[in-house]
Amino acid sequence: MKEKVQAALDKVRVNLQADGGDAELVDVTDDGVVRVRLKGACHGCPMSQMTLKRGIERAIKAEVPEVKEVVAVD
């Protein structure tokens, strides 16, 4: 499942990088929680939570339905 999540994340990263940000896959747990680290302009951005849920999480869940949630870690 980790490879599928990475592939889905890579598709979203292009948009993040265009705005000076990025996201790195940290871990995928057995119970379907994906942990990502927001980097660049995304780190500390007031809109990062919306980007995480409405952008990154939505895109990953569309490609990997087994994912339950995407969370940011430091």
For the segment 10-23, what is each residue's pLDDT rounded down to a tens digit?
Answer: 999 999 999 999 99
Q: Is 8 helix (H, G, I), strand (E, B) or coil?
A: helix
The CATH class, in words, for 2-72 is alpha beta
pLDDT at residue 7 tops 90? yes
Residue given tokens 């292009």 in the structure block: 14
d(CA 48, CA 30): 25
**pLDDT tens readout for residues 26-70:** 999 999 999 999 999 998 889 999 999 999 999 999 999 999 999
Q: The whole model's pTM is what?
A: 0.91
74 band by pLDDT with thresholds 50, 70 and 90: confident
